[in-house]
Amino acid sequence: MASHRRPSSSGLDRTKRVTVLSAAAASAAAALSAVPAGARPEDPPSDAVSARGAVDRLYAQAERATELFNAAEERSRRLTEEVDLLRDRAARGQERVNAIRNALGGLAGAQYRSGGLDPAIALVLSESPDGYLDKASALERIGQRHAERLRSLRTALRSLRQQRTEAAGKLVELSDSRKAVAHHKKTVQRKLATARRLLNALSPEERARFARASRHGRRADGGFLPGFEDMAAASPRAAAALAAARQAVGLPYAWGAAGPSAFDCSGLTQWAYGAAGVAIPRTSQAQRYAGRSVPLSQAQPGDLVVYRSDASHVGMYAGNGQVIHAPYPGAAVRYDPVGMMPISSVTRP
């Protein structure tokens, strides 16, 4: 696809862009290196600075659990659809079995009324068709029409048993997936409750300082930083997705939510691309592979920026070294520096 980026005669625009991205990533790495190596996520903080760090870690752990919850929830939804489909097929299969049995029963009744019942038909109505058909001598005692009906019945019964077995297996998987959903939900709730307790213990000034800590990318009057409108998206669909994400700025974070009035990180990017007519997976881990990987230095508006080694956070590149993302509970969808935390990959859907 042809690029819509403005041509540069000297290449300085790209150099400047790479510098902005690299500097932002380096500053984030330096900030993260200040976390004490031996600190546990829920150790009681000794002061306001360590309390803010503990809250950050708790939010990161809650986000990882949220993405696990999203994956389990998505799997439960898919398994529920598969179980419903198998049950529907089994019901149709049972109807076919009943119809064939009724046909054979009607034939037996007609023979009985005419003065006798073919022993072969009597066996069909009293024994398993599988066992009966395995007796080669039995096939010699019935006509071709009877044999075809028996074969159809045997095929229908085998298919019905297979569908019921498969449905039973899917139900076990569904039960396990629902247990995983409940487990991850409890983990998220526990982490967030601990974070809230730590935040509530801070003074109003410290809470305000935490809320402002990474809020960059917009001027006081709410406008974009210079350069946002000038950068071309990677494609028309990326431009449409970015436009949707921009409309979501200011809406609240809610874990497990995928719009249109609240979002978690992967829910925002999935919703934005869905608004552009592009289906991408639900979780940040899956979104990492939902397109072509590109170097950070070549990021274009609309690209997905995936964070941390476990790909537990995702945002959308908005240009000028900024991303739009849903950061954490209590914070609205917003712009932040692309290097706000370690970057795992950049994906172009």
DSSP per residue, 29-64: HHHHTTS-TT--TTPPPSSHHHHHHHHHHHHHHHHH
Considering the four listed CATH numbers 2.60.40, 1.10.287, 1.10.3470, 1.10.530, the one that applies to the domain covering 47-213 is 1.10.287
Cα atoms in the 13 Å half-sphere on the side-chain side of 49: 4
Q: How far apart are CA 26 and CA 70, in angstroms?
A: 31
Res 126: pLDDT: 52
Output 152-161 pairs: Cβ under 8 A, ≥24 positions apart.
152/100, 153/97, 153/100, 153/101, 153/104, 153/124, 153/129, 154/129, 154/130, 156/93, 156/96, 156/97, 156/100, 157/97, 157/129, 157/130, 158/130, 159/93, 160/90, 160/93, 160/94, 160/97
Q: Burial letters for 326-342: b for 16+ Cβ neighbours within 10 Å, e otherwise?
A: bbbbbbebbbbbbbbbe
Q: Return the higher-pLDDT residue of 98 and 344.
A: 344
Res 89: pLDDT: 84
User: Catalytic: which of 146, 183, 184, 325?
Assistant: 325
Task: Please give the DSSP secondary-structure letter assigned to residue 332.
Answer: B
Res 94: pLDDT: 86
Q: How far apart are CA 16 and CA 321, in angstroms?
A: 10
What is the torsional sign of CA 246, 249, 254, 260? negative
313 is catalytic: yes
Answer yes or no: pTM beyond 0.75: no
* Residue keyed to tokens 């997976």: 281
Q: Where are the domain boundaries for CATH 3.90.1720.10 in the chain?
A: 215-349
Task: Return the percentage of the chain with pLDDT > 70, whole number.
Answer: 68
Res 132: pLDDT: 55
Mean pLDDT of the chain: 77
Token pair listed for 112: 């009985």
Tell me the fold of 215-349.
endopeptidase fold (from Nostoc punctiforme) (3.90.1720)
Q: Where are the domain boundaries for CATH 1.10.287 in the chain?
A: 47-213
Res 131: pLDDT: 59
Residue 324, sorted as left (phi over 0), alpha (psi -120 to 50) or beta, turns out to be beta
Q: How far apart are CA 309 and CA 341, in angstroms?
A: 11
User: Catalytic: which of 146, 183, 216, 265?
Assistant: 265
For 162, counting Cβ atoms within 10 Å of its Cβ (0-12 exposed, 13-18 middle, 19+ buried), the class is middle
183 is catalytic: no
Res 87: pLDDT: 86
Q: How far apart are CA 90 and CA 196, in angstroms?
A: 50
Q: Burial letters for 118-131: b for 16+ Cβ neighbours within 10 Å, e otherwise?
A: bebbebbeeeebee
CB 321 within 8 A of CB 21: yes
